[in-house]
A and B are shown apart, each in its own frame.
Chain A
């Protein structure tokens, strides 16, 4: 005797929703999934408004994986259904990793045709003169995720600027965000706890970024892709993934198996974290002693981070020397590497370059310099 859908009460239930335990049929699953993303979009901005403005040009950070593919699909559907008036683009970054990106970039090209969205592919090689394969040759596998992360962040910004885009959306889902909350706790990076749960973030030197899947469980994204038969590609980076994050991920999946609401619960914890001034101050002081050179580098503005890393690479130094270069930091020395800039039209809204949460965080931040 099949279970009936708890929403339409006529069709056979095919999905048990992890967030609510609700048992729903295929059509009702599509409806509630899309509707929840619509709600995240229309109420996700700080203060409860929409994260998008009408007429906005929005780049979807597309990797060819399940999350960004489902995001491209759902945004295309919602933009049409609710007339957001968005100009959507696909923006892919080619890290230059043979045997990893090739298939997924093919997938993105297929998505471009399926959704009729313009696609821009920007490579590390084009932007930095370095592929990740070359970086790994030079620095080894141990630190390469740092390079890749910093490079990708800036590459997305530059690619978006090249497209003349105002806003980048990424496929980060609820599981990813809960994992990041855990990671920030495990690293003692309490200052990032709340910020990492914001739907939209923007800092001074970057384009606005949003995560419309903040409340979408990975399970539901995978089910959605399966039931809709979407074209995506599953792959794992061939260079050693971050082991620490791997533990957080497995831990999270174990928790979810026992209590499916664990994921939203952790996100909620992140959202609710507020640091008082005294804590902020003591953390800043702690950081001066504890921060490793690599992480110290990550406290710099995005463009400076990528430049510092590049500079280290290009002086043809080994890993230890790269670290020293990063430690030197600060002043831009002779021959400072710069990254090609694209013209970017900045929308000046109301003089407030930052979103609500960012603003709040900045207000309590204690300046060390």
Chain B
């Protein structure tokens, strides 16, 4: 039997939610268009984490290219997490945020790469980056 080793159709998220259990995402782009000083960032939540982001596994946000305040710096993951904490988390932010980073046990992927290879909090975001957060704190 010469069966392929990839057994599963690539239609699922691989993130532990089903399309039935999650309403479709409403991207920021559906509401307004991106301005020149914003980045378009795509976010996806796995391992049940979408439950604290308005039950939506996928979000598209427009993030300012530079951080607000006096000593502005280019938007990085540290800023993204702070932004998400203020604007996106719908409940129980302690399940997501820990200090200026994410809670231990939450994996972060930047364009499909482990964030530990990309500088973690210091990674400087680019337009159309895809950031995936997966909780491993739930049961398996």
Contacts and interface: CB of A to CB of B under 8 A. Distances in A.
Interface string A49-71: 00000000000000101111000
A221 interface: yes
A3 B9 CA distance: 29
B134 interface: yes
A233 B3 contact: no
Interface residues of A, number: 52
B8 A14 contact: no
B107 A235 contact: no
A16 B136 contact: no
A229 B114 contact: no
B interface majority secondary structure: loop
A67 B140 contact: yes
Contacts of A12: 113
B8 A232 contact: no
Interface stretch (B16-24, B31-39, B78-86): B16-24
Contacts of A231: 8, 12, 14, 18
A328 B138 CA distance: 37
A66 B117 contact: no
B140 A63 contact: yes
A23 B117 contact: yes
B13 interface: yes
Contact of A3 (B103, B109, B117): B117
B140 A171 contact: yes
Interface residues of B, number: 38
A229 B10 contact: yes
Nearest to A66: B140
A15 B47 contact: no
A66 B113 contact: no
Interface stretch (A148-156, A197-205, A249-257): A249-257
B75 interface: no
Nearest to A172: B140
Nearest to A107: B18
Given A14-B113, A107-B18, A225-B16, A237 B7 contact: no
A9 B117 CA distance: 15
A65 B114 contact: no
Contact of A226 (B46, B48, B137): B46
A232 B16 contact: yes
Contacts of A15: 113-114, 117
A32 to B, nearest CB: 14
Nearest to B111: A14
A interface majority secondary structure: helix
Contact of B12 (A77, A229, A254, A257): A229
A321 to B, nearest CB: 31
A226 B7 contact: no
B15 interface: yes
Contact of B14 (A67, A107, A171, A227): A227
Interface in A9-47: 12-16, 23
B27 interface: no
Contacts of B16: 65-66, 225, 232-234
Contact of B117 (A16, A103, A223): A16
A256 B106 CA distance: 12
A226 B15 contact: yes
Given A14-B113, A231-B18, A234-B46, 19 more contacts: A14-B117, A16-B117, A23-B117, A66-B16, A80-B5, A103-B20, A107-B18, A175-B136, A219-B136, A221-B140, A222-B134, A223-B107, A229-B14, A230-B8, A232-B14, A234-B16, A236-B48, A237-B139, A254-B104
21 contacts: A12-B113, A14-B117, A15-B114, A16-B114, A23-B117, A73-B8, A77-B7, A114-B8, A115-B7, A221-B140, A226-B15, A226-B132, A229-B13, A232-B16, A233-B18, A234-B17, A234-B48, A236-B48, A249-B105, A250-B137, A253-B103
A-B interface, 5 closest residue pairs, ranked by CB to CB distance from nearest: A234-B16, A67-B140, A234-B48, A229-B14, A253-B105
